[in-house]
Amino acid sequence: MTDTWLRCRTPRERPAVRLVCLPHAGGTAGPYAVWGTALPEDTELSAVQYPGREDRLAEPPAGDLRGLVDGVAAALLPLTDRPLVLFGHSFGAVVAHEAALRLSAWGAAPGHLVVSGRRAPSLPARGDMHTRSDDELVAELVRLGGTRGDLLADPAVRAAYLPAVRADFKLAETHHRPAAPPLRCPVTAVLGEADTEVDEEQARAWATHTSGPFTLRAYPGGHFYFTPRREPVLRLLGDITRAVATADTRC
């Protein structure tokens, strides 16, 4: 199960803390591999690989959020023998939050949840890109800045890539959690100052999803603020993982 869902390029024999990254809609585990070398040496980095992409291309993308979270949470559970930090960007923030709730219900809550580029799930769901044409969906991906437009000009790439993107967008655009039980662990919300998908007020609403400490951070840039400059978010994650490892704030 873990091998199916998680990719770890730099395993540690006895990590003090584990960091797991959950990608955006259509995203893959691959880009997070380089993050591991910039984190503290006692931090083990893994990234979630959703079905329907890269080495899981032969699998259908997730058709419902519950099923997706079932797989992710089950894969994360064995990692909770060490303090666990979850970082989810955009759609990944939705999955990370739901997985944190599931782990908490199992008595294995993460030590910290970091939600990036996403409005709080208690706010009304919005968006209809999953119902739009392929051309409109590609234009939106290019506008957001997470995908190269020249790659998606290739019909074969579109045919392989867009089904997973559309499936993820559907789950993201229809997700609403008005009455989720609050987590007890710290939550940090992060956004780009020029992000068109979430503003500070919408990001600050994540505070209602925990009874623990809440922090809001904003960095220069748009929805993919960390693509041109990873250093600020990696410093933040380094600070968080060191604090969790020291305090072992599992709750």
Work out the angle at residue 34's Cα, subtended by the Cα atoms of residues 33 and 35, and round it to the nearest 5 degrees. Answer: 90
How far apart are the C-alpha atoms of 215 and 18, rounded to whole Å?
20
End-to-end CA gap in the chain: 24
Assess whether 90 carries a catalytic annotation. Answer: yes
Q: Are 217 and 188 in contact (CB under 8 A)?
A: yes
54 — alpha (psi -120 to 50), left (phi > 0) or beta? Answer: left
How far apart are the C-alpha atoms of 108 and 200, rounded to whole Å?
30
Percent of the chain that is helix, strand, coil (3-state, to 5): 45, 15, 40
Long-range contacts, stretch 28-36, CB < 8 angstroms, 24+ apart: 28/53, 28/54, 29/54, 30/54, 32/7, 33/7, 33/9, 35/230, 35/234, 35/237, 36/9, 36/10
Both tokens assigned to 236: 């933040």
Using CB atoms within 10 Å of the CB of residue 215, give its burial: 0 to 12 exposed, 13 to 18 middle, 19+ buried: middle
DSSP secondary structure letter of residue 124:
P
Q: Are 22 and 87 in contact (CB under 8 A)?
A: yes
> 90, 104, 122, 133: which one is catalytic?
90
Residues that are catalytic:
90
